Amino acid sequence: MSTSERRWMVFDGPVDAIWIENMNTVLDDNRKLCLMSGEVIQMSANMNMMFEPMDLEIASPATVSRVGMVYLQPHEMGWHHLYESWKNNLPTTFREDQFKVLDSLVLVIVDPILEFLRAECVEETPTEDQNLVVSMLRIMRILFKCWESEEFYS
């Protein structure tokens, strides 16, 4: 692997005291990851770490500031940014008037559906609003596949 290519190590899951203790060495200037097995991995200059913790209950303020963690509750993030990102990947044949109709449909439908689901339904497996919206957008994207063909559209 080229030493100039950027590499990412992604850590996902709960933050606990043992995990934080093992991470302290890699967070220092020497950038050495000390594993519980005793193995030491030297991080190169082109290696970066990304943390996707489930929560920060155990993490100290020093650790949070050191790695630049930002934790947001899913309900604080909302779903609108996911929709805007999804719209950017629609076929180029979509016109401005079609985007306006799509915007109004999504804005009128999504919030009431989510409110109804949370208030009136019982989920077998708990979901987050963002996951439900992304699933809906994926289904809509499949339905819009025909717009990718210039022949169909014209």
Q: Tens digits of per-residue pLDDT, 25-44?
A: 777 777 887 777 888 888 88
Is 60 a member of any domain?
A: yes
Low-confidence ranges of the chain (pLDDT < 50): none
87/145 same-domain check: yes
Domain boundary among 28, 48, 71: 71
Say which residues have a Cβ less than 8 Å from residue 107's Cβ, sequence separation at least 6.
Answer: none
34/104 same-domain check: no
Is 27 a member of any domain?
A: yes
Domain of residue 121, residue span: 75-153
Here the tokens at position 110 are 């999504």
As for how many domains the chain has, the answer is 2
CA quadruple 109, 115, 121, 127: dihedral positive or negative?
positive
Say which residues have a Cβ less than 8 Å from residue 24's Cβ, sequence separation at least 6.
Answer: 63
pLDDT tens readout for residues 80-101:
999 999 998 888 778 889 899 9
Instruction: Tell me the pTM.
Output: 0.56
96/37 same-domain check: no
* Residue 39, pLDDT score: 85
87/50 same-domain check: no
Contact between 114 and 129 (Cβ < 8 Å): yes
> Quick one: 135 exposed, middle or buried, by C-beta within 10 A (0-12, 13-18, 19+)?
exposed
Is 1 a member of any domain?
A: no
**Bridge partners, residue 16, by sequence:** none
Domain boundary among 56, 71, 86: 71
* Residue 121, pLDDT score: 94
* Residue 153, pLDDT score: 58
